[in-house]
Structure 1
Amino acid sequence: MKAIIYETYGSPENLKLKEVNRPEPKADEVLVKVLAASVNQADGHLLSGTPFPVRFSSGLFRPKHQILGADISGVIERVGKDVTQFQVGDQIFGDLSGSGFGGFAEYAVAKEGVLAKKPKNLTFEEAAAMPMASVTALQGLRDLGKIKKGDEILINGASGGVGSFAIQIAKALGAKVTAVCSRRNADLAKTLGADEVIDYAVRNFTQEDRKFDLILDGPVNHSLNQIEPVLKGGGRYVAFGFSMEALMLGSWKSYRTGKKFATLMAKVKKDDLVLLATLADEGKIYPPIQQNFTLDEVPEALSLMKKGKISGKLVITI
């Protein structure tokens, strides 16, 4: 099969399209014919081996798993003898980040707990854009953010993959949403359901008088001391982008202020994928896609993501 391989840490130029052996599913795994995948920041971190702590799980000096790609959609081609929830021919989508990645290839193996049936009204490309970003948004809002109907929430980084799903999920859960993004992405944020859009180049939300029940933060470009005054009493702050400050000082800051400061470490759960597929089938969420690429264009897609300022998702058709 064809796959995008990297053998050393570095830049997208390290990625090569090669012919490799097709993986064999274990007893508790399925073999998926991958029809689409999508790019995430996690792929960029694994490719570069940064921040350094990622190497403790991905390989200290060389990558342990040589095929990137977490988000996939496709068709099940074989099932292991212990698999009970899927059968050959099922159309699925899921997140391989907990089992060695491997999505930038014509075939991949996965445990059934990280897959769900593909939303019926989405294409394979649209379904592949969902798993990691939408699960991160859901868990950030619901599990750490404790979102409630009527909450006033702010999403910093609202036009990226996670942010674009967060707007839609928050609206589906009855919240009032303020989106922070660039002016060029304001129309997208409004289309996704944002009640108000702040252009970060013009207004700094930490310097305004408004307060929020919940702040979901991707860029993590403000300190906790700057964030704290714009949270209501008992308010919650959730960083879904990497925040060493929130990781190290969040508990102390929470104790000191009575407000909650946390860093999200999202983990794929089958039940969450099923819920998100239901929301997609009901028309309550959909994946905004900025651009489609082919398998051999994965390096180009990762280079574009590295530059930042992405609107929605970058998808790979395989």
Structure 2
Amino acid sequence: MKAIKCESYGPPEKVVRITEVAIPSPKDNEVLIKIHATTVNDYDWILALGKPYLYRLMLGLFKPKNGLLGMELSGTVAAIGAKAKKFKIGDAVMGDTSEYGFGTFAEYISINENAVIQKPRTLSFEEAAAIPHASCLALQALRDIGEIKEGQKILINGGGGGVGTIGLQLAKLHNCAVTGVDSQEKLAIMTAIGYDQVIDYKKVNFTKAGKRYDLILDCKSNKASLTYLKALNPNGRYVSIGGKPFNLIGLLLWGKLMPLFSSKRLKILALKSNSGLEFICDLLAQRKIQCQIDGPYPMEDAGRLIQYFGEGKHKGKIVISIKAQTHKE
């Protein structure tokens, strides 16, 4: 089968390659999935580039340990392990596999059956691949950690990406006024999909603009921790879903100290893979929210797409279509 791997660190277009590998066999609690679509995430950008360098302690000091790319998928079950009980051959599935393993940039993957859920018939394979990671990040950040309330003022930093576009729609279900921060190239489409106000991050630093919000969802976390306090109302909450390691360490430390002297809160989301995904699927089925897809693109473009993602030029979720050959036992 074809699989996309990264065997050294560097520019994605140079180090990401399609290779031929054997189709894996499912272990006892695993299912073999024929992948129809996958997506690009921060993990792929970090793995290809090997930066920030701190991540190399986990990924491999001088080159990736395994180089497996991809952590989201939609597809159909092609084979079942001896003890796997949740699915049958032919079932359409979807999910964020990161809790159990990576490697969705491939024609097939063998993964623990708990890494995926049943795909609703109302969703295309492209939509199903695009929502597990981003939507669960947005939902858990806004609802579970941010404790979103009716009519709040919300800011989403990185508002034009996959998490931001879902986060906006979830906030609008609570009748919130939402400001989105991103690059100039994305502002027009962000306005079109419903942001009340948009900010070009190159022109305006939202922490110094004098406006305050009840809840901030930060997809970037690229500023010093305490600067976010200036942009929060009393009792306001700031929730980071990721960013530069040293900024996250600062947020973690200050987040623990904050209750001693302020009503404001600094939080970091520890994602629970696929938690709340059925809820998101229900919202999509009822057309209360929509999925913003950039693509789909062929798997041969993977290196270029990871670079495209890293440059922040994508509008919504980058989806890669996988056209796998038929698996034979």
Considering the TM-score relative to the shorter chain, is it more than 0.5? yes
In the alignment, structure 1 residue 292 sits paired with structure 2 residue 292: no
Residue 310 (str. 1) matches residue 314 (str. 2): yes
Shift of 1:200: 3.4
Counterpart Cα distance in 2 of 1:263 and 1:186 = 26
Q: Is the 8 A contact 1:69 1:103 kept in 2?
A: yes
Query: Once the two structures are superposed, what CA deviation does each residue of 1:46-104 show, in whole Å capped at 9, x if it has no partner?
Result: 22232234334333444233320111111111122322222111111111222221100
What is the CA distance between 1:263 and its match in structure 2?
Answer: 2.1
Which residue matches 1:268? 273
Task: Percent identity, please.
Answer: 39
Q: Which runs of 5+ in 1 are unaligned?
A: none
TM-score normalised by structure 1 residue count: 0.92
Report how far residue 195 of structure 1 moved. Answer: 2.8
When structure 1 is superposed on structure 2, of 190-199 and 94-103 the one drifting more is 190-199
Q: Which amino acid in 1 is paired with 2:59?
A: S
Q: Return the alpha-carbon distance in structure 2 between the equivalents of residues 267 and 143 of structure 1.
A: 11
- The 1-side partners of 2:27 and 2:220 are apart by 39
1:17 partner SS: strand
The yes-or-no answer on 1:65 pairing with 2:66 is yes
CA contact (8 A) 1:128 1:315 kept: yes
Tell me the matched-pair count. 317
Letter paired with 1:247: L
What amino acid does structure 2 have at the position aligned with 1:165?
A: I
Task: Kindly provide the amino acid, as one letter, of the partner of residue 7 in structure 2.
Answer: E
1:98 alignment partner, SS class: coil
- Name the CA distance, whole Å, in 2 between partners of 1:64 and 1:31: 23
User: Match of 1:236?
Assistant: 237
**Counterparts of 2:64 and 2:203, CA distance in 1:** 41
Distance in 2, matches of 1:266 and 1:18, equals 31
Tell me if the contact between 1:117 and 1:274 (Cα under 8 Å) persists in the aligned partners.
Answer: no
Give the C-alpha shift of residue 119 in structure 1: 3.5
C-alpha change, 1:57 and 1:143, in structure 2 (3 Å) is farther
User: Contact conserved, 2:94 with 2:119, CA < 8 A, in 1?
Assistant: yes
In 2, are the aligned partners of 1:119 and 1:280 still within 8 Å (CA)? no
Structure-to-structure mapping, 1:182-261, within 5 angstroms: 182-242=183-243, 243-244=247-248, 245-261=250-266
Q: 1:53 to 1:207 in 2, by over 3 A?
A: closer
Aligned residue number for residue 281 of structure 1: 285
Please say if 1:55 is aligned against 2:56. yes
C-alpha displacement of 1:254: 4.4
Query: Over aligned residue pairs, what C-alpha RMSD do you find?
Result: 2.0
Q: 8 Å contact 1:10–1:49 — kept in the other structure?
A: yes
Name the SS for the 1:179 alignment partner: strand
Which shows bigger deviation, 1-10 or 35-44?
Answer: 1-10
Amino acid in structure 2 at the alignment position of 1:296: E
Alignment of 1:7 onto 2:11: no
Partner of 2:326: none
Matched, 1:158 2:163: no
Match of 1:105 in 2: 106
TM-score w.r.t. length of structure 2: 0.89
Query: What is aligned with 1:117?
Result: 118
Asked whether the 8 Å contact 1:120–1:281 carries over to 2, the reply is no
Q: Which amino acid aligns with 2:261?
A: R
CA distance in 1, matches of 2:236, 2:123: 35
Letter in 1 for 2:179: T
Q: Which moved more, 1:244-253 or 1:224-233?
A: 244-253
Separation in 1, partners of 2:206, 2:62: 41
Q: For 2:101 and 2:60, how far apart are their aligned partners in 1?
A: 11
- Corresponding residue of 1:132: 133
Q: Which amino acid aligns with 1:262?
A: K
In structure 1, give the amino acid aligned to 2:77. I
Partner SS, residue 23 of structure 2? coil
CA distance in 2, matches of 1:226, 1:162: 22
In the TM superposition, what is the alpha-carbon distance from 1:201 to its structure 2 partner?
4.4
SS in 1 for 2:261: helix
Give the direction of change, closer, same or farther, for the CA distance of 1:51–1:181 in structure 2 (3 Å limit): closer
Determine the C-alpha separation between the residues in 2 that align with 1:113 and 1:232: 40
Quick check: 171-180 or 72-81, which moved more?
Answer: 171-180
